[in-house]
Amino acid sequence: MRILVVDDNKDITEAISFYCQSEDISYKVINHGKKALDIIQREKFDLILLDLAMPEFSGLDVIKWLNEEGILESNKVVIFTASSDRIVLDKIKNSGIKEIFKKPFSLDNLIKLIEKYRPRQ
């Protein structure tokens, strides 16, 4: 399994990194939305975990770009957010992402999320 983590929160990226290392899952951590675009164009991931609220180039910007490029549907994107803004959340739900994963979350729920998207052999 290959995971791309796009989040500027060090605690979250460390938790995901710890789990991926313990399960021998290949992963990359990117702390900025624009940098993620280049990687998404060049590489294939089984799951993209995308923070909604990042400075300069947000998760919304990443989603918009993926839609414009016609590659959102071919990627499994899960949004991480603490937002309760119904308008924003409804807009995201209708954009083609797989689901919204609310922050804060437990390690158990994170594991269930990752396992849900693990390719079956």
Say what the pLDDT of residue 88 is. 81
Domain boundaries, the chain: 2-116
pTM confidence score: 0.93
Dihedral angle over CA of 19, 22, 28, 33, nearest 10: 10
Q: How many CB atoms lie within 10 A of CB 83?
A: 16
Does the structural domain 2-116 have CATH classification 3.10.350.10? no
* Residue type present at position 41: Q
Provide the 8-state DSSP code for 74: T
Q: How much of the chain is in helix, strand and coil states, percent to nearest 5?
A: 40, 20, 40
63 has pLDDT over 90: yes
- Three-state secondary-structure class, residue 15: helix
